[in-house]
Structures are given as C-alpha cells and as structure tokens.
Structure 1
C-alpha cells in the first residue's frame, strides 16, 4: 500500500466516522471503503471514489465529479464511482453529505439484491459453484461481495482442493457483475499473480 492510499484511507475513516464502523479491504487492485460492512467507496491509485446508484447519480453528475474508468477490450468504460477531488476534501460537510447519500444508495441496492439475486444468477456462477459457496459459508451475493474474490476463493479452496484460477476469476467477475473475460487486464493479472503465490507448494523442511 503506497503512502497516498494510506492517507486517503485515514482521511476516509476520520471524515465518515459518523456513518458507522468504517472498514477497508483490498478490492480489485484498490481498497474498498465500507460502513457497517456496506461498501460505498473505493480508493484507486490513491484517490477516493464514491459509489452512486441510479437514485443519487444525478447529484454526483451535477458536481462534475469524474467517473472511475477502466479499459475493457481497448475501450474506456465508466463505472458508477465518482472522484472526490481536493476541493471536496476541503468541504467536509458537503463531502459527508455525499458519502451518506452514497451509503444509503448502496444499502438500498444491497436490500434489493438480497431479495432477488441468488449466487447462481450472477455472471460466471452456476448451480455447482453456488453449492460449493454455500458449503464454504457464503450464502448470497452480498456475502460474496463482502468477502471479496480472494477470501471467497480461499474459503472455497478449504472445501475443494481442486479450486482453479478460473474459479478465482469467475468470483471476481461475479462481484463486478461481468463475465470474467471482461475483467480489466490489471485486475486479472493481479489476481493471477496472487493465485500463483497462494498455490505455491510449501518449502520442504
């Protein structure tokens, strides 16, 4: 973790403390920001982006906050996360208002997913993987997102020694609601390197 990411994580924990227990974890090459386990922000390349659903997105657009963008098959794809610039960091009241709006939107989406989305209905997942995830203690799409692709993979590996790198990529794609082949190249490469490290045999003593 570089110093700028550490700075943004600390700023986020202080600025958003009134929203609940603020936690962070490694997520897709960056770090998620969550309040009471609901993700509402993402730190990428040392910058904070707030999540916006369809209900609150117009407020973010009205402030001309840039999208978080990744490249998919050579084409830029904007995500529903919006950059918190230096001006906003200097306006803590407005920033907290936007973060609260982002969190409420994430909680609304979370509630809707819990009522309508089974694991098998996510991209890349089927009945067999759903049953494996249940056996590993992951019961729904929200729990999969909370654990993240890496931790979910390790839980799967504990119940199935044959869990491959394709399963890790499938989990990451499912969390992003996209086919695993459409994962950003940087994310894909980082996950493959992580898989190689965690699949390496232990040295003999």
Structure 2
C-alpha cells in the first residue's frame, strides 16, 4: 500500500544523510542517521512538526496523522503533505530539513532529561517502583543515594517472596543509566560481596 510513496520519499530525502525506514504506526518511519523525522502511512508522506512549525503546517492545509490506541484516537506530531506538494520536490526537501532539525533537537532533549520517576529509569517498571516505595525509597535521588545493594536489601526486608539477583543488577544498571545485562561480572561479584 505505502510502498510506492515510501520508495519515492526515500529517494527524495536520501540527500539529507544516511536514510532508512522501519515499520511503525501502521506505516513506515523514515530515519536519517537513526533520527525519525518522517512517516509514510496511508499513501502519504508525513513530516514531524514542532511548536514553531505546527501552525505553519496547519495554515498550509497539512493534516496530522491520527491512529487509534485501545479505541482512543492519538494525534501524532506528523503532518501529511498534500499530493500537490510532490509537484515541488525542493519545497518538500526544505520542509524535511526543518522536520529533521526538530526531531534531532527533541532527541537531544530526551537524552538530557532526568527521569522524574523511578519507573522511568532503565530496567525498572512500575512494579519495581512500588517495591522500592514499600521499602521507603520514593524518588530517583533517594535510590541513587541509597545505592543498589542497600536498595536491594530494603526490598528483601519488605518483600515476602524471594528476590532474584537480576533485580540487583537491574538496580545497579538503573543507577548507572545502563541496561542490567551490561553490568560486568566483576561488578556483579563485588555487589554480591557487599550483600
């Protein structure tokens, strides 16, 4: 369904850098160097908007892509280019450059944003956050200052069932901002000794 417009979009936008596409949102996300800035869905190219460009897109008659999640409509930041835009590929490229810049800035903001809740840290979920709260650790700052070993011990004391070692690696990874599987075997041995 979206393949002809996807192929044409990839050809046109390839001048912006290393281009790729991935299946998502019922269509295909378009990426330059791992930054998604466009979406091809419903036989249309959609470009990412920002607070600055959203009104411009609306004034030009662009429509946002809307999909359903659990029966409710979700309005995305991606706006469909009308068919007549394809008569002026240079105009599409100009707007794509802006969309790519917006996407890169948003990606940077996400990288530097501090998680506000424990469940937002790597490896941790809402269930882990609840376990930590029950153990008296309520914030990201408290978890970091307590440390993985002491947080693990606190969970062991307040949790009725067995707590696996994987939780200890998950807490250590969360504090360091990495996935638990990359916690080195040396670090794991050291953490076990501290227990």
The TM-score bracket by the shorter chain reads: 0.5 to 0.7
Equivalence for 1:101:
98
Whether the 8 Å contact between 2:25 and 2:67 is mirrored in structure 1 is no
Task: Encode CA deviations 1:96-141: one digit per residue, 9 max, x unaligned.
Answer: 111111110000101111000549428xx6266785971356xxxx
Whether the 8 Å contact between 1:56 and 1:105 is mirrored in structure 2 is no
Unaligned runs of 5+ in 1: 138-205
| Matched positions, count | 133
Q: 1:27 & 1:135 partners in 2: Cα distance?
A: 27
The yes-or-no answer on 1:134 pairing with 2:171 is no
Unaligned runs of 5+ in 2: 129-166, 183-195
Equivalence for 2:120:
121
The structure showing larger relative contact order (alpha-carbon pairs under 8 Å, at least 6 residues apart) is 1
Q: Please say which of residues 54-63 and 86-95 is displaced more in the overlay.
A: 54-63
Report matched runs for 1:9-158 at 5 Å. 9-72=6-69, 74-118=71-115, 120-121=119-120, 126=125, 131=173, 134-135=179-180
Q: CA RMSD in A?
A: 2.8
After TM superposition, the score normalised by the length of structure 1 is 0.56
Task: Please tell me whether Structure 1 or Structure 2 has the larger radius of gyration of its CA atoms.
Answer: 2
**SS in structure 1 of the partner of residue 179 of structure 2:** helix
How far apart are 1:76 and its partner, in Å? 3.3
After TM superposition, the score normalised by the length of structure 2 is 0.59
